[in-house]
Every structure is written in structure tokens, then in C-alpha cells.
């Protein structure tokens, strides 16, 4: 079956929720993808920061295939060793508290919202509120969606959950004013990903930490995109002046196996109790074995140093290109601002033609999230392809 037939089936049978690039991939290896015609692509999106070790990383493939032949699922009514080991590993490598597992990013934030509300009720708050910045993205289920101001404006999907408010991005003053006696938590992305790679300022992060401490609220970092090595440290918060009380993780945690986690520090570790939350699939042995293999590879100073170096090389190369107005981000999470008049969507489609997979999160912006194992030559090749494409758009 070729692309045309696949598209026909999609048109007929899938809900129209996605706009897809005109290619059907059949195979992946390292930083490369291959379509049905055998054409090779350099993947600088990595399944939206999911395949951080590259496609079909041998250690992950081995963990998944071995576990699939041994035991795929038993539910959370019983013990399984990989789940317990992964929880220890995540806690030890971050905030030191407890972990709740789930299957996606949005669910990790749902768990964090429950933790925050329960923690607030424990402090006698009857109507707890969660405060975020306007440009953030936290997911598509109703709790996470209600914490995603731009999407929660779509009346056709309302009503949304009560108990959420937002303030303008990086507005420390407005954040301080919004946090009060009813605040359960401040929920923020240390670097906004979906809106186009916008690092939250240190001033705003410090204001959030101080405001939470002043009223006893929890500071939650959504590290679903920034975590698991993406920014050059295992967690993005390590490169900020603040330490959150809760972090959420997903995307790269399973390198393609669906898994999410809500990880607490001591303050919030015991908020959820039996009956408060659960998931049938969560922390299954295949996903947790995959995640253990991922952490073995990513939690490595040499790899994390390479992420910082390759990120710097990528940004330096891009900033030399005519048509590039500037770059943003940290490590291998890079947003590229294009000169006015260059249509990013058309550029993205042209790059796909040329064999480079990128993402266009917003008009005028390219987002690059290459696998963390990307090498110098591949960085230079991607910069070259983007340069060639920009020339075709009249950049000079």
C-alpha cells in the first residue's frame, strides 16, 4: 500500500484531528527515518521529543522484545519489579519523593493536578486554584486542557474545569498577584515547547517559587518536553535557580513506549492515598523496562555534555543563515525565528521534500528536537538543508 492509499483510508476512517506531513514512514534507525520508497530523512523532530535515543535504539529494543516475550501486563493489582526499580530511579534522580505512573503527558499533569488539589484540601482550602502562564501547553484531557489557556478558549469544547487561572508569560508581578490563600499550585513549563520554544525567565521562576513558599502552595514543573536530557541536564530545573515540588514527565521517558510519570518531592509525596487515583495500563512491565533502558543511556554525563555542545553548534550554525532572525532554547530544544515574510509551514514542507523532518509550532517559527545522540556531521547537514531551503524562499 502506498501513500495515496493510506491517505484515502485516513480520509475515510480517521477523525480529522491532525494535519500530517505528506509522507508515510516505514522504518527508523538512529537519527534517520525511511519512507516506503526507501528515501532517507534526517529526523530533527524525534516524534516530538520522544525518540531521544534515536529510532529503535538497541538497548530499548532489547528491553521491549525480551519483556514482551516474558510478561506484557498484569495491572496495578500486583507487584512487578521494573515498576518499582523505575520509581526509585526517577525519585533518586530528581526530587526524592514518590512517583505515580501513567501512560502519557496529559495524564501526568492530571495526576499533578490531583496531588495539588488534595494537598490544598489538606491545608483547609475549599476551592483550590492552579495558576499558569498564558502560553503554556499541558495536554488535551480536561484538567490539563483547563490549565492550557489558549486551547481552553475554544467554547465548542466547554465547559472547562473551574479552579484555573493564568497570567501573561513571564510577568512576575502578575504571578505574585495571582497567587493567594486559595492557590494550590503554580504549574509551569520551564521552557514552553508547543508554543514555539520560549524559555521562562529566571525572574519569573524565582517569583513563582517565592509566591508558592509564601502561601504554602506547590510549584509544579511540567517537564514532559524538557525532561529526560532534552536541555542538556536530566531535568531542566537543574539549570534554573529553583527546585520545584513536583515534576511531570512523559514523551522521551519511554523512547516511543507510552509512559508518563508524576514525581514529587517530600512535601507532596503522601498527598494521594488508596482510592484517589489509578490506571489500568500504567507502569506495565514493557514500558517500565523501556524507561529503565532510556535512563541508563540518558543519565550519563558524557551524553548530557554532548547535548549541550550539539545544541550550541546547531544554534551557532542557524544564526549564520540568511533568513534566520534568531534562535531560542536550551540544549537540543531549539526554536528558530524566521525573518518576516518567510512562511514557516511552506518551509517545513520544503524541508521534508529535502529529507529533513522539522516541526512548525507557530507562524514564523521552526522547532528542532533532534535525537540526543545526534552527531556533528548530522547537525551540519541539517543546518545546510535549512540554509538551502531558505535561499529558495528568497532569503539573502
Ligand X SMILES: *Cc1c(COP(=O)(O)O)cnc(C)c1O
Candidate list 97, 105, 135, 323; residue touching ligand X; CB under 6 A: 105
- How many other C-beta atoms can be found within 10 angstroms of the C-beta atom of residue 160? 19
What residues from 182 to 211 belong to the interface with ligand X (CB under 6 A)? Answer: 189, 193-194
- Is 331 exposed, middle or buried, given 0-12, 13-18 or 19+ CB atoms closer than 10 A? buried
Could you tell me how far CA 43 lies from the centroid of its own chain?
Answer: 17
Question: In the bound complex, which residue of the shown chain has the CB atom lying closest to ligand X?
Answer: 105
Q: How far is the CB of 129 from ligand X (least distance, A)?
A: 19
Q: Is 237 in the site for ligand X (CB under 6 A)?
A: no
The closest of 166, 157, 39, 151 to 106, measured between CA atoms, is: 151
Q: Is 35 in the site for ligand X (CB under 6 A)?
A: no
The closest of 229, 226, 277 to 110, measured between CA atoms, is: 277
Mode of pairing for the β-strands spanning 218-222 and 365-368: unpaired
Distance CA 316, CA 81 (A): 44
Distance CA 282, CA 116 (A): 20
Q: How far is the CB of 373 from ligand X (least distance, A)?
A: 20
Q: How far is the CB of 350 from ligand X (least distance, A)?
A: 25
Q: Is 106 in the site for ligand X (CB under 6 A)?
A: yes
Between 105 and 335, CB nearer to ligand X: 105
Q: How far is the CB of 282 from ligand X (least distance, A)?
A: 13
Residue 125 is classified by DSSP as -
Contact 315, 329 (CB under 8 A): yes
Contact 125, 182 (CB under 8 A): yes
Q: How far is the CB of 136 from ligand X (least distance, A)?
A: 7
Q: Is 225 in the site for ligand X (CB under 6 A)?
A: yes
Residue 63 is classified by DSSP as H
Residue 365 is classified by DSSP as E
Candidate list 224, 234, 268, 369; residue touching ligand X; CB under 6 A: 224
Candidate list 30, 128, 139, 227; residue touching ligand X; CB under 6 A: 139
* # chain residues binding ligand X, by CB under 6 A: 15
Q: How far is the CB of 392 from ligand X (least distance, A)?
A: 31
Candidate list 41, 44, 137, 237; residue touching ligand X; CB under 6 A: 137
Q: Is 104 in the site for ligand X (CB under 6 A)?
A: yes
Q: Which residues bind ligand X (CB under 6 A)?
A: 104-106, 109, 137-139, 189, 193-194, 222, 224-225, 250-251
Amino acid at each position: 500500500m502506498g501513500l495515496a492509499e493510506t491517505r484515502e483510508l485516513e480520509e475515510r476512517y480517521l477523525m480529522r484531528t491532525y494535519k500530517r506531513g505528506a509522507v508515510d514512514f516505514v522504518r527508523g534507525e538512529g537519527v534517520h527515518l525511511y519512507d516506503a520508497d526507501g528515501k532517507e530523512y534526517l529526523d530533527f523532530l524525534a516524534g516530538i521529543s520522544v525518540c531521544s535515543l534515536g529510532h529503535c535504539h538497541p538497548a530499548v529494543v532489547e528491553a521491549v522484545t525480551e519483556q514482551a516475550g516474558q510478561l506484557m501486563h498484569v495491572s496495578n493489582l500486583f507487584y512487578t519489579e521494573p515498576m518499582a526499580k523505575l520509581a526509585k530511579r526517577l525519585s533518586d534522580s530528581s526530587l526524592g519523593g514518590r512517583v505515580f505512573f501513567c501512560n502519557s503527558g496529559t495524564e501526568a499533569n492530571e495526576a499533578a493536578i490531583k496531588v495539588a488539589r488534595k494537598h490544598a484540601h489538606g491545608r483547609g482550602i475549599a476551592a483550590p486554584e492552579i495558576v499558569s502562564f498564558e502560553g503554556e501547553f499541558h495536554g488535551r484531557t480536561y484538567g490539563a486542557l483547563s490549565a492550557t489557556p489558549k486551547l481552553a478558549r475554544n467554547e465548542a469544547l466547554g465547559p472547562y474545569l473551574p479552579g484555573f487561572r493564568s497570567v501573561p508569560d513571564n510577568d512576575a508581578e502578575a504571578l505574585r498577584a495571582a497567587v493567594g490563600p486559595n492557590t494550590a499550585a503554580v504549574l509551569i513549563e520551564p521552557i514552553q515547547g508547543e508554543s514555539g520554544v520560549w524559555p521562562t525567565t529566571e525572574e519569573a521562576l524565582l517569583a513563582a517559587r517565592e509566591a508558592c513558599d509564601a502561601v504554602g502552595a506547590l510549584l509544579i514543573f511540567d517537564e514532559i518536553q524538557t525532561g529526560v536530557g532534552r536541555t542538556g541536564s536530566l531535568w531542566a530545573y537543574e539549570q534554573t535557580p529553583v527546585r520545584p515540588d513536583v515534576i511531570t514527565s512523559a514523551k522521551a521517558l519511554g523512547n516511543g513506549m507510552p509512559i508518563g510519570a508524576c514525581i514529587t518531592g517530600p512535601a507532596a509525596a503522601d498527598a494521594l492515598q488508596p482510592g484517589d487515583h489509578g490506571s489500568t495500563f500504567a507502569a506495565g512491565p514493557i514500558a517500565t523496562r523501556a524507561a529503565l533502558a532510556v535512563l541508563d543511556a540518558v543519565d550519563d554525563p558524557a551524553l548530557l555534555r554532548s547535548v549541550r555542545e550539539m545544541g550550541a553548534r546547531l544554534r551557532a550554525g542557524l544564526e549564520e543563515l540568511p533568513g534566520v532572525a534568531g534562535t531560542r532554547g536550551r540544549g537540543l530544544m531549539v526554536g528558530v525565528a524566521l525573518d518576516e515574510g518567510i512562511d514557516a509551514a511552506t518551509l517545513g514542507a520544503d524541508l521534508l521534500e529535502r529529507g529533513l523532518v522539522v516541526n512548525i509550532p507557530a507562524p514564523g517559527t521552526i522547532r528542532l528536537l533532534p535525537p540526543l545522540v545526534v552527531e556533528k556531521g548530522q547537525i551540519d547537514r541539517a543546518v545546510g538543508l535549512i540554509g538551502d531551503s531558505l535561499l529558495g524562499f528568497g532569503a539573502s
